Structure 1
């Protein structure tokens, strides 16, 4: 049985009373999530097509944090992570999807912030002068960048399966599909094909997280 999301979700104040101010705050927080996914992807792909030497078939978005202009991708990670963190608070405030989905989205958001603060190691020829393969030794920030990814992204995918138990019929099925498609790159990570699939998984994952925030925002009055 799939639970349904009410079409007109109330927002409650500290004592449980419904307040317009609380509803506006919840909508604002969810609006952060609506913006976060598209902003991250548009900013990332815009850089991918304009940075010299960057190859979508070889280099993940993380490499955009390296070299001249790397500050933009660092800011992209941190800003969009903060937006998703605000969205996680909004998801919890709706009261419509339980506790775990907002917690998992918050973990993902912290992972994004960590991915910006701790940059990846240069590799695969990017930026110019980097080794053609993997770095011979990982730096501490490269290790933490990897930890941020391998904690954050699985948390996002897990949230989709949790949401499938809370969202209404078509949205529940779409959430399962989004989770499966986001997982598709995992067996191929570390290969060129895996990098391409990872972009597909990122597009699905980030946009679905924003779509769910948009749905819940529209239902909050």
Structure 2
């Protein structure tokens, strides 16, 4: 291996390592905040709402830093040559959606933070609309990436990627309900950790 090849491989492995870190970092930080923020209810409130009120800056930073790490991971997947062309691109779109979800905060709702309406707000702010756009851009891109990755992975990794995609879609029939919110958290754990697992696999093969 030449020095140039070694440098390229080292850079690829570093980028993939960033992506491996992203999922666990987001989940650990998000659940830690959810369990310590007064009035936050995991059966009613999505992680997005942790960006609101006192202490909201921590979740905003969580979104942005995680998105940047996922973006690095997507670049590493592209450089590895083992994830095809479209899967890294879709992961990059997902990463940008994560960053957008932090930059553009959701609107207060469902009683959080204190003083917020008990249901959905009557009107959405411009940043609330853009937050929704970021989510509905990131989520489909991530699910699509799982199914595309299945074509480039072998054996149980391919089957696992399909399963992760299916499980990520499972909350949709229950959207807007308490069970739907809980299922959304379960799907997020599976999805975020699966991305990290796949990127770790690509890193080990680089």
TM-score, normalising length: structure 2: 0.98
Compare the two structures and name the one with the higher helix fraction. Answer: 2
Which residue of structure 2 aligns with residue 95 of structure 1? 81
1:18: how far off?
A: 6.5
Matched, 1:54 2:26: no
Matched, 1:202 2:188: yes
1:49 is paired with a residue of what secondary structure? Answer: helix
Which residue of structure 2 aligns with residue 129 of structure 1? 115
- Structure 1's unaligned 5+ residue stretches are 1-9
Which residue of structure 2 aligns with residue 6 of structure 1? none
Moved segments of 4+, more than 3 Å: none
Could you say which structure has the greater relative contact order, defined with CA pairs below 8 angstroms and 6 or more residues apart? 1
Counterpart among 66, 85, 91 of residue 71 in structure 2: 85
Alpha-carbon distance in 2 for matches of 1:27, 1:212: 13
TM-score, normalising length: structure 1: 0.91
2:111 is paired with a residue of what secondary structure? Answer: coil
State the number of aligned residues: 206
2:36 is paired with a residue of what secondary structure? Answer: coil
| 1:58-103 Cα shifts (integer Å, max 9, x gaps) | 0000000000000000000000000000011000001112100000
Which residue of structure 2 aligns with residue 112 of structure 1? 98
Which residue of structure 2 aligns with residue 23 of structure 1? 9
Q: CA RMSD in A?
A: 1.3
1:187: how far off?
A: 1.7
- Structure 2's unaligned 5+ residue stretches are none
